[in-house]
Amino acid sequence: MAAIVKSYCIAILFLGLVTNGKELILWFCDCSFNDIGVGQVRSERLIQGKPEWNVTVTNNCSCFQVLITLACKGFQSVEYVEPSILFKQGDICMLNKGHRLDGHASIAFSYAWDPPFLLMPVNSTVICTVSGE
């Protein structure tokens, strides 16, 4: 897997590269926030009479992504949602404090409200590392 990512990154080397000493970082990886998938399933639980939803946010791409934001207009929950996982700023929620979500990795959280919120990905910054992983 790492080897595939590596050759893929080298193939787009001409697009731009910066060294920061330890790792090579390439931008313009062929990924975007469109490769972020948000899945929600209703759990068995009711919290204060409201259904609980289990949300899984998956980076469906080989390169890691940072500063992932989700549309979360009007988002509320009677279940406490850890702000380090989902931090609401107006109509936008920052995922994982803006920290990296690795390629093909997921982050999960639950909230409780009726009806559920759509939580569409709106933005991210894609970073493709050649080494240092």
Ligand X SMILES: *[C@@H]1O[C@H](CO)[C@@H](O)[C@H](O)[C@H]1NC(C)=O
Q: Which residues bind ligand X (CB under 6 A)?
A: 35, 37, 41, 43, 54, 60, 67, 110, 123, 125
Q: Which is nearer to ligand X, 43 or 131 (CB)?
A: 43
Q: Which residue is nearest to ligand X (CB)?
A: 37
* C-alpha distance from residue 103 to each of 34, 62, 75, 90 (Å): 13, 4, 27, 28
Kindly state the helix (H) or strand (E) to which residue 7 belongs, with its residue range.
helix 2-11
**Angle at Cα 31 formed by Cα 30 and Cα 33, nearest 5°?**
150
Tokens 């929600």 appear where?
40
In the complex, what is the shortest distance from the CB of residue 126 to ligand X, in angstroms, rounded to a whole number?
A: 9
In the complex, what is the shortest distance from the CB of residue 33 to ligand X, in angstroms, rounded to a whole number?
A: 8
Q: Which is nearer to ligand X, 52 or 129 (CB)?
A: 52
